[in-house]
Structure 1
Amino acid sequence: MQTNLYALVPLVAPLLLYGLAIMLLFKWKKPAKLLIETIGWLGIFISLTCAFVVYFLGSSQSMLLGSSGLGFAIRMDPLSITMLIMIALLGFIVLKYSLNYLDGDDRQNIFIARLATTIASVELLVIAGNIAQLFIFWVITSICLHYLLIFYKNRPQAVAAARKKFIVARIGDFSFLAACIILYLQFNTGNLELIFEKASAISNLNTALTSATILLVIAAVLKSAQFPTHGWLIEVVETPTPVSALLHAGLLNAGPFLMVRMAFLMNMSEPASLLLIFIGGFTAMIASVVFLTQPTVKIALGYSSVAHMGFMLLICGFGVYTAAILHLVAHSFYKAHAFLSSGSVIDTVKAKRVKLPSRKGSIGRIITSIMIAIVIYGLFSWIWGIKPDEEFALMATGAIIVMGLSQIIAPALDSSGGIKGIMKSAYLAFMVALAFFSLEKGAHYLLHSQIPTHYEPTMVIKMAVLSILILFALVVLLQLMAPNLKKGSFTYNLGIHIRNGLYANVIFDRLIGALKKDKFKWANLTVEEEQTEEQRSSEIKLSMESQR
């Protein structure tokens, strides 16, 4: 990778946001709408310009500002610029939304300043060229999120969520720090490019490097709210909607991003891959099932995010890193839109009741649906030239896609909705498969220089992948066969447990005392009671009487 001065260009985008935050905190009482929108557009323009530079001139890195191989450096490569473009777009949308959302709030300037600081820190995280910078901004983004979560300290549920997040994040930070120390001692440099080059030249990781990869997995798992430490993410619906949008669409992605960034190391560690497969797979399965039982829009979206993060980490464990980044980008835009439009969705549902056709519960139709999904997947595999014996990991990812396609086709085929509904579902399944294979190929073309060129999973990993796929298939089959299942006390009780997330969040609350009011004073996490007008007026009267 070349060292060039123009690699500092991406730095302009976060610096503009930091400048905006400083002005809002120390100069302006009310945000200037035109300035905020201008800075947002400049950030998008800078990120797109960097994309053209990388495409035509290749990857590059700035000079190191530091010593002994540790310090500050900007890395311009397809992965970092892809993430930068996504963050710039989402940041602009969330900032613009916040101008109207908190209009009239006395602390709107403080909120937007914190929001801008968080976005800028995430941008500096993804363009980091050194493990020291990567770690520092990993921690800073967590701290910035902390102050966004407790923006309204009089909301007990938001504060309780922040308490859990604070503990989980600190454990993740220590894990990441330990991994960075091991990597530096083993490679004698903090430069990511040199670490990747030296790692690629090693045939097998030693004990220290294997430990580092496991610590990186722990950091990623805790950052992305994986089971059973996911409860804080479900409760942050108490925070302002722009925070939820930025969190679910941006900050949670730090876990999968770290796994893809460190792919040259993760690819060689069997224990780390197994951890990703089992933790990510189990979380994706549990959260997706719980998601289907939630009656509240934002809580359902929270469980959806947990499931998506688990799926991304799962396919990182498979070694299909391009599919993970593809999923990451798609999920970010979808989830930002879902949160920012959640109020409108509720109004639409209330105004327009849609009656779904009843299910028949025909085993033959359900099996036919699964066979159609397999045919669609097989057709696209053949068109794109995928070889099952050579691309096991991609085929395993595709098997999960088949399960998803069957969930689209079966409800229409196994119902009284008529041929029109069946054709629509088949068309939708066809388009989903087309999008997955086409975009995965495109992502591989763009990101191939930042991921290992060849990955051949060991027999142990193959067995782990197959066990997860069998578990997924059983859950999907139970969902498809749900109309035929007898409804008794067992299914009723199981439904209650699932709806409450198997009570993992309750257990975590009790374990750390998250609901105790005065336990977290040291972390600035106490609930401030909001006084009513009557309380304030009575206090004024009492003070006046005492003065008399």
Structure 2
Amino acid sequence: MAVPWVSDLTLLAAILATLLPLCSFLVVMLFTRSHPRISAGLSIGAMSVSLLCALFLLNEHWHMEKPLEYAGRWLVSGSIEIPFGFLLDPVSLLMLAVVAVIGFLIQIYSLGYMAGDPGISRYYAFMSLFLWAMMSLVVAPTLFQLYIFWELVGLSSYLLIGFWYEKFSASQAGKKAFIMTRAGDVAMFLGMLLILLHLGNLSILEIDSPALAARMSPRLLTLSALLIFGGIIGKSAQFPLMTWLPDAMQGPTPVSALLHSSTMVAAGVYLFERLFPFFFFSPDAMTFGLFIGTLSMLLASTMALVTRDIKEIWAYSTISQLGYMIMGLDAGAFFSGAFHLTTHAAFKALLFLCSGVLIHTFETNDIYELGRKGGRSLKVPMACCCIAAGALAGLPPLSGFFSKGLILEGLADLSNPVWLIAALFGAFLTAYYAFRPIFIILFPREASGEPEVHSATSTSKDHSAGHSSSHYWLMGWPLILLAGATLCLGFLKAPLEHFMGQTALPGVKGIGHPVWLLYTEIILAVGGVGLAWMEFGRRCAQQVGFVEKIPALHRLFAERWYLDHFYGWFVDRVIDRGVSALFTQNDHRVIDGSIDGISRGTVETGRLISHMHLGMVQYRLLAMFVVMVLLAFYFFF
């Protein structure tokens, strides 16, 4: 580096922002695990400094003209050098600020939510580990460095999902998330190798440059893009690797808010943003991504229509909204995906945290039980939850209305109207399932009027339940701040678009503003909320949805379109009875059989040769005679 890090404020801020959470993780795990208050203080203190550094970097480089890269040699082997450093540009700076703000607020919230838990030091240590990995991923200048922290984010997710490891369902959910995301990561790694073979390095700026498209054939470019998109599918829980995310709700609710709504699962969409020019060079890869995003959005929306677990509803909505982001990016509307990622981080974290207060107070995840136990008596969480649900539904003037509208406008620019029609239908479903739990909690009915329970996880409880209500306001203030962000972020569209517009590709068409689409979006959002009100809110409503009146359709959606059944069948028939059985036979017959055969041959040979060492003259004479006969045959015949 040309400038010493201690005299370069930008570099110093980047180092502190990413390194301090790692330091707090190490200190807590090595020295303060038996002191929960000190551990929490260290983790929150480190995160607060990281937050200040992230906001300083965003403000300092708000008008930056070109990306700023710091890179130094990390590993050297002959002529091969692997760099390590920081890449600061509008994409990374905005995401760094989002992760820092959400992470800090959730750590404050966790003081109340996790109070009294015997593993609170371990909890804050794992939180710090995740935040270090996520923030380092965001500013990585090479795909190799990004992949390292990509895997560390997956490890942190596994540790936090299975935080209450004594609960079998939590440990199983952690393993499921880890295995399913690894499947996508293998594809991503193969795509990286293809790029490395043809480009010679994995610099993100060089991958995004037109030079890569000139050096790789269109087929190889498309193949590498599709393989990297496999990593996005796994991390962002898109079809077909989408069923791990609802099960991941077994972890503490703040974990769900941080990892599985606004940061960790958003890493896949962030990677798409980071490599947007690279994907843009392959129209076939963009079309495939558009199909996957659309299918994931629709499937997850249908699943959210029938579940009773409030955290699972928001988990399905996360999958759906991530699908929306991918649709916007694949439509060529770069800012629409980036902006929806930013607004979604605020209102989805708010939804999870509001749900956490309800779960913490009433000891159930079931929306019908929350309603009957008096969920509407918690004024601040319910008010904030209504604001967040409105943003999720796309109601004006909340932030989700502006960001989702940009995605719809980007899809309207495509020649094929199918994508826009699917997105509009998804917008209607989103408004419906977003307000279904709201109306059920606000307007409870007697137990006789509720539908039967069809989900084995609908009554799962957080271990943090039963704490004193004295921690209510520790959880309340982050809700108020996130609600304020949800109300205001939509009005920052213009400055953020100018800031992010500096990364736009030349030749990417701008987004139009058809008036009819704006009115259609509002009508569909209001229509979805109105239908939810008719079925769950009004006085004489039976609180039975239109899907629940069709048993076959209800079961299809409740069983997640039988995706888990397919995975179970595939693992049992193909993996266990097919591949594993074949390998077992190979192990027994080829590997063990060959070793056993060699061993038996050695024993028999030794037994045969042992007869020649008995010291008897006739055996020696016989051996000499045989040798002489063989020599005679060799020389004379």
Helix, strand or coil: the match of 2:239? coil
1:492 and 2:515 aligned: no
Structure 1 residue 56: Cα displacement: 4.2
Instruction: Decide whether the 8 Å contact of 2:432 with 2:531 is kept in 1.
Output: no
Deviations 1:250-271 (A, max 9, x none): 1000111111111111011122
Among candidates 261, 268, 283, match of residue 255 of structure 1: 268
Q: In 2 relative to 1, CA 277–439 (structure 1 residues): closer, same or farther, beyond 3 Å? A: farther
Partner residue, 1:446: 499
Among candidates 336, 343, 351, match of residue 374 of structure 2: 351
Deviations 1:432-471 (A, max 9, x none): xx999965544432112333232369xxxxxxxxxxxxxx
Among candidates 27, 47, 50, match of residue 54 of structure 2: 47
Q: In 2 relative to 1, CA 408–497 (structure 1 residues): closer, same or farther, beyond 3 Å? A: closer
Instruction: Decide whether the 8 Å contact of 2:164 with 2:251 is kept in 1.
Output: yes
Partner residue, 1:229: 241
Helix, strand or coil: the match of 1:63? strand
Instruction: Decide whether the 8 Å contact of 1:322 with 1:440 is kept in 2.
Output: no
Partner residue, 1:80: 92
Partner residue, 2:625: none
Structure 1 residue 38: Cα displacement: 2.6
1:129 and 2:141 aligned: yes
Partner residue, 1:243: 255
Structure 1 residue 141: Cα displacement: 0.8
Among candidates 287, 290, 307, match of residue 294 of structure 1: 307
Q: In 2 relative to 1, CA 312–72 (structure 1 residues): closer, same or farther, beyond 3 Å? A: same
Partner residue, 2:508: 455
Partner residue, 2:285: 272
Structure 1 residue 176: Cα displacement: 1.5
Q: In 2 relative to 1, CA 78–397 (structure 1 residues): closer, same or farther, beyond 3 Å? A: farther
Q: Distance in 2 between matches of 1:30 and 1:93?
A: 22
Amino acid across the alignment from 1:81: L
Deviations 1:346-385 (A, max 9, x none): 768453779xxxxxxxxxxxxxxxxxx9xxxxxx9xxx9x
Partner residue, 2:458: none
1:156 and 2:129 aligned: no
Deviations 1:124-175 (A, max 9, x none): 0010011110111111111121111222222222222222222222222211
Structure 1 residue 47: Cα displacement: 0.5
Q: In 2 relative to 1, CA 30–400 (structure 1 residues): closer, same or farther, beyond 3 Å? A: farther
Q: In 2 relative to 1, CA 101–212 (structure 1 residues): closer, same or farther, beyond 3 Å? A: same
Structure 1 residue 43: Cα displacement: 1.2
Instruction: Decide whether the 8 Å contact of 2:432 with 2:528 is kept in 1.
Output: no
Find the structure with the greater CA-based Rg.
2
Instruction: Decide whether the 8 Å contact of 2:331 with 2:410 is kept in 1.
Output: no
Instruction: Decide whether the 8 Å contact of 1:70 with 1:131 is kept in 2.
Output: no
Structure 1 residue 395: Cα displacement: 9.9
Deviations 1:492-522 (A, max 9, x none): 3112212332222233245346xxxxxxxxx
Structure 1 residue 216: Cα displacement: 1.2
Q: How many residues get paired? A: 450
Helix, strand or coil: the match of 1:251? coil
1:511 and 2:570 aligned: yes
Q: In 2 relative to 1, CA 443–69 (structure 1 residues): closer, same or farther, beyond 3 Å? A: farther
Q: Distance in 2 between matches of 1:191 and 1:46?
A: 25
Q: TM-score, normalised by structure 2?
A: 0.62
Amino acid across the alignment from 2:505: P
Q: In 2 relative to 1, CA 243–197 (structure 1 residues): closer, same or farther, beyond 3 Å? A: same
Q: RMSD between aligned alpha carbons?
A: 4.2
Deviations 1:64-94 (A, max 9, x none): 3335353212011111010110111111122
1:61 and 2:84 aligned: no
Q: TM-score, normalised by structure 1?
A: 0.72
Among candidates 107, 110, 113, match of residue 119 of structure 2: 107
Amino acid across the alignment from 1:157: S
Structure 1 residue 107: Cα displacement: 2.2
Alignment of 1:337-416 (within 5 A): 337-345=350-358, 349=371, 350-351=373-374, 391-392=413-414
Q: In 2 relative to 1, CA 217–477 (structure 1 residues): closer, same or farther, beyond 3 Å? A: farther
Q: Distance in 2 between matches of 1:503 and 1:232?
A: 13
Helix, strand or coil: the match of 2:83? strand
Deviations 1:292-312 (A, max 9, x none): 222221111111111111111
Q: In 2 relative to 1, CA 489–11 (structure 1 residues): closer, same or farther, beyond 3 Å? A: closer
Partner residue, 2:399: none
Q: Distance in 1 between matches of 2:347 and 2:497?
A: 21
Q: Distance in 1 between matches of 2:429 and 2:127?
A: 38
Structure 1 residue 331: Cα displacement: 1.1
Q: Which moved more, 1:102-111 or 1:486-495?
A: 486-495
Amino acid across the alignment from 1:209: L
Amino acid across the alignment from 1:241: T
Instruction: Decide whether the 8 Å contact of 1:281 with 1:310 is kept in 2.
Output: yes
Q: Distance in 1 between matches of 2:91 and 2:416?
A: 20
Q: Distance in 2 between matches of 1:118 and 1:297?
A: 25
Structure having greater relative contact order (Cα 8 Å, sep ≥ 6): 1
Amino acid across the alignment from 2:26: I
Structure 1 residue 274: Cα displacement: 1.7
Q: Distance in 2 between matches of 1:49 and 1:176?
A: 33
Structure 1 residue 337: Cα displacement: 1.5
Amino acid across the alignment from 1:159: S
Q: Distance in 1 between matches of 2:241 and 2:70?
A: 37
Q: In 2 relative to 1, CA 230–253 (structure 1 residues): closer, same or farther, beyond 3 Å? A: same
1:319 and 2:332 aligned: yes
Amino acid across the alignment from 1:22: L
Among candidates 30, 35, 51, match of residue 35 of structure 2: 30
Structure 1 residue 278: Cα displacement: 1.1
Q: Distance in 2 between matches of 1:117 and 1:402?
A: 39
Q: Distance in 2 between matches of 1:409 and 1:335?
A: 14
Among candidates 8, 14, 34, match of residue 18 of structure 2: 14
Q: Distance in 2 between matches of 1:97 and 1:441?
A: 31
Instruction: Decide whether the 8 Å contact of 1:287 with 1:306 is kept in 2.
Output: yes
Instruction: Decide whether the 8 Å contact of 2:305 with 2:547 is kept in 1.
Output: no
Instruction: Decide whether the 8 Å contact of 1:205 with 1:268 is kept in 2.
Output: no
Deviations 1:376-426 (A, max 9, x none): xxxx9xxx9x99999548999887776677789999xxxxxxxxxxxxxxx
Amino acid across the alignment from 1:264: P
Instruction: Decide whether the 8 Å contact of 2:332 with 2:410 is kept in 1.
Output: no
Q: Distance in 2 between matches of 1:27 and 1:143?
A: 22
Deviations 1:178-226 (A, max 9, x none): 1112222222222222222244774985322221101111110111111
Instruction: Decide whether the 8 Å contact of 2:194 with 2:224 is kept in 1.
Output: yes
Gaps of 5+ in 2: 363-369, 378-394, 396-401, 434-486, 511-522, 536-544, 573-637
Q: In 2 relative to 1, CA 131–394 (structure 1 residues): closer, same or farther, beyond 3 Å? A: farther
Q: Distance in 2 between matches of 1:389 and 1:88?
A: 31
1:208 and 2:220 aligned: yes
